[in-house]
Amino acid sequence: MLKTLLAAAAISLAASAAIAQTTPAPSTPTTRPATPMPTTPVNPTAPAANLIDINSASRAELMTLPGIGEARADAIIRGRPYRGKDELPRKNVIPQGVYDNIQARIIARQR
C-alpha cells in the first residue's frame, strides 16, 4: 500500500512539473500600469538661470507666468522681499492654485 501511495505521489509530481514547463509565462506584468507622463514636463531641478526670481523680476517677467496678470504681478512686487517662494500663497499674495502651477518656475533669491 505504501508503494502505491508513493507511486501515485511521484506521478502527480511529474505531471505538475510537465504542466509547469508547457504553460507559457504571462506576457503582461501583473503589476499596475505605469502612470502616464505629464504633457508639460516640469523639471524641479531646473537650473536657477531658467527660474524667475520673485524678489527681482520685472512686472513683465512675472506676467510670463501662467495665472499672473498685471494685478498679481503688482501684488508680488509690493510684497517684496520674500524669504521663500512659498510665502506667496501664505501671505495671500496669490491663490494656492496659481502657486501650485508656477512653483517649479520661480525662486526667491536672497540679496
Q: Examine residue 5 and state whether it is found in any structural domain, yes or no.
A: no
Residue 85, C-alpha cell as written in the block: 517662494
- Give CA–CA dist 57/32, Å, rounded: 44
| Lowest mean pLDDT segment, chosen from 22-26, 27-31, 35-39 | 35-39
Share of the chain above pLDDT 90, in %: 54
Q: Is residue 39 very low, low, confident or very high in pLDDT (cuts 50, 70, 90)?
A: very low
DSSP structure string for 41-64: ---TT--GGGSEETTT--HHHHTT
Domain that holds residue 79: 48-107
Residue 68, C-alpha cell as written in the block: 499672473
Counted domains in the chain: 1
- Mean pLDDT for 101-108 is 97
CATH of the domain at 60: 1.10.150.320
Query: What's the pLDDT tens digit per position in 44-56?
Result: 555 566 899 999 9
Q: Examine residue 8 and state whether it is found in any structural domain, yes or no.
A: no
Question: For the whole model, what pTM was predicted?
Answer: 0.57
Q: Examine residue 38 and state whether it is found in any structural domain, yes or no.
A: no
Contacts for 97 with CB less than 8 Å, ≥ 6 apart: 67
Q: Examine residue 6 and state whether it is found in any structural domain, yes or no.
A: no
Q: Examine residue 73 and state whether it is found in any structural domain, yes or no.
A: yes
Q: Examine residue 11 and state whether it is found in any structural domain, yes or no.
A: no
Q: Examine residue 101 and state whether it is found in any structural domain, yes or no.
A: yes
DSSP structure string for 12-39: HHHHHHHHHHHSPPPSS-SSPPPPPPPS
For residue 77, the model assigns a pLDDT of 97
